């Protein structure tokens, strides 16, 4: 039996690609065997930093066991399709492709070839989210806020760049796909209007159970916010995705004192211990490696990709009507 580690090829060496290169190269469970980057100077520099081989493109990927794609969103569909055609497992940064139709096509092709396909919806592996999943119950209402200052290097809109994360989390915590999605988008920067790339995107998701999720994403904020609130029957679970902590509130009683103005309430506050310390990218990589090894649920993972993509697509269509 071979004991060699899986050999991973990474496509893309930008900001996200460099993060993947670090995590893969530091992993004791795989080997960063190849860095693919068409920009030679950039590619060679990153490959040298992480002690791997650089190539401008790929053909048969001989000797490669799996691929991670962290190229620009516009290139995802072509690159991932070529990899699937070679029968290689592939992890693609979110969104899976530029359009929902392209994303659905990649999922269909992966299913037909029975090849592992994973989308890098990284917040699934946030330690606070992983901990909350262990005790969250029936969720009535989800509120998500994902706001950031403007970053000129990101050419796509916030719906597929930011909104999709919290839409995915809402679907996961509620446990079903939304039956109705309504979106409202805003375009403020001249480049955004010209490229039809929204600067803010708010979406309301209605579920068959009656649950509602309200998600807000923006790249015109003055500070970075990553918050998710889950309202259950008798408690509110607040998740700070940046600080990676959880606060639980239980309302006990309230009254209006007769002898003075104002409002008084009693609330029990609980701060649960975060059970995980693993870096999200590392946890995501380990999950992907389980799919590559055949020990993970390949079909189940594939089935989780499209619901958030579909909801974001419906929000986009709604916002434009």
**What pLDDT is attached to residue 192?**
63
> What was the pLDDT predicted at 1?
35
Say what the pLDDT of residue 250 is. 96
Domains, in order of start, for the chain: 7-120 (3.40.50.720), 124-279+310-320 (3.30.360.10)
Q: Is 104 exposed, middle or buried (0-12, 13-18, 19+ CB in 10 A)?
A: middle
Q: What pTM was estimated for this model as a whole?
A: 0.94
45: enclosing H helix or E strand: helix 40-49
Regions in the chain scoring below 70 on pLDDT: 1-3, 153-154, 191-195, 255-260, 262
Hey, what are 15's tokens? Answer: 């900001």
pLDDT (0 to 100) of residue 206: 98
Angle in degrees, CA 215, 199, 151, rounded to 5:
110
What pLDDT does residue 208 have?
A: 97
At CB < 8 A and 24+ separation, what contacts does 150-154 make? 150/189, 150/199, 150/219, 150/220, 151/219, 152/191, 153/15, 154/219
CA distances to 4, 141, 160, 168, 251 from 233, rounded to whole Å, are 50, 10, 31, 22, 11
The DSSP bridge partners found for residue 119 are: 92
For residue 140, CA distances in Å to 128, 183, 207, 230 come to 20, 20, 10, 8
Q: What is the pLDDT of residues 246-267, one digit of tens each?
A: 999 999 887 666 666 767 778 9
Q: Which ranges of 52-99 does DSSP label H, i.e. alpha helix?
A: 76-85
* Cis amide prior to 95 (ω within 30 degrees): yes
Cα end-to-end distance, the chain, whole Å: 58
pLDDT number for residue 41: 97
Non-local CB neighbours of 161 within 8 Å, separated by 6+ positions: 73, 95, 154, 217, 219
Q: Are 13 and 37 in contact (CB under 8 A)?
A: yes
* CA-derived radius of gyration, the chain: 21
């Amino acid at each position: 039996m071979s004991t060699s580690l899986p050999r991973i090829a990474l496509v893309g060496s930008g900001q996200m690609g460099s993060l993947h290169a670090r995590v893969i190269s530091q992993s004791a469970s795989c080997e960063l065997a190849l860095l693919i980057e068409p920009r030679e100077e950039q590619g060679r520099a990153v490959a040298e930093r992480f002690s791997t081989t650089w190539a401008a493109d790929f053909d048969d990927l001989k000797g490669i066991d799996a691929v991670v794609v962290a190229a620009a969103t516009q290139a995802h569909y072509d690159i991932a399709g070529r990899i699937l055609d070679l029968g290689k497992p592939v992890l693609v940064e979110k969104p899976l492709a530029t359009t929902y139709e392209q994303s659905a096509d990649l999922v269909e092709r992966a299913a037909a070839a029975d090849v592992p396909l994973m989308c890098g919806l990284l917040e699934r592996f946030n330690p606070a989210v992983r901990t909350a999943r262990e005790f969250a119950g029936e969720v009535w209402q989800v509120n998500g806020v994902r706001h950031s200052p403007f970053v000129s290097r990101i050419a796509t809109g916030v719906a597929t760049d930011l909104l999709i994360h919290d839409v995915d989390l809402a679907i996961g915590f509620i446990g079903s796909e939304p039956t109705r999605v309504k979106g409202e988008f805003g375009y403020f920067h001249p480049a955004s209007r010209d490229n039809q790339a929204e600067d803010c995107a708010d979406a309301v998701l209605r579920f068959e159970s009656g649950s509602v999720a309200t998600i807000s994403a923006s790249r015109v904020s003055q500070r970075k916010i990553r918050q998710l609130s889950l309202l259950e029957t008798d408690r509110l679970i607040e998740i700070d995705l940046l600080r990676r902590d959880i606060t639980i509130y239980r309302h006990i009683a309230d009254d209006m004192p007769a002898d003075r103005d104002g409002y008084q309430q009693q609330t029990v506050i609980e701060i649960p211990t975060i059970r995980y310390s693993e870096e999200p990218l590392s946890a995501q990589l380990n999950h992907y490696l389980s799919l590559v090894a055949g020990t993970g649920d390949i079909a189940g993972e594939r089935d989780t990709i499209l619901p958030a993509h579909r909801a974001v697509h419906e929000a986009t269509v709604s916002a434009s009507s």
